[in-house]
Amino acid sequence: MDNNQLQQLIEEISIGVFGKAFHHTARFNERLRTTGGRYLLSDHSIEINPRVLELHGQEELRGVIKHELCHYHLHIEGKGYQHGDQDFKKLLKETASPRYCKPLAAERRRATALHIYQCRSCKLLYRRRRRMDTKKYRCGKCMGSIIKVNAEV
């Protein structure tokens, strides 16, 4: 789907669901990371994250578009268009628009320890992601000196 097809889809949804025309521009924005779309107050345009379509399909895309159109139409009419406003919540419910988008960012795995240090006295292990200067630190348990055991790969 390209920007022209997106523009046409948003115009169709606007007329079909809201009964009002969408007179501004719509485009995909690949720089969006965590949000499905956004409505820009400055020029009344709507930007959609293309990952919504890639990851979740056409139905989720339609939901994101309806959500952004709620912002658009309420702002144009001078009503409460922000997420916390009653007008916005009411219009979301009336149009069966989702309040939130499904997650788009891939789950970030927590990095494991790359460096392992050990106390010379009590043999307590310290696992660290960053290297540490063993001359500057002592064991927190027995105050013994610390040595680097190995680096995990």
Residue type, 114: L
Question: Coil, strand, or helix at residue 50?
Answer: helix
Taking a C-beta distance cutoff of 8 angstroms, is the pair 43, 27 a contact? Answer: no
Helices (H), 14-109: 50-56, 58-77, 86-95
From CA 68, how far away is CA 18, in angstroms rounded? 12
- Selected catalytic residue, list 11, 54, 60, 68: 68
C-alpha pair distances (Å), 51 with each of 19, 44, 109: 28, 22, 20
Is 68 one of the catalytic residues?
yes
Catalytic residues: 68
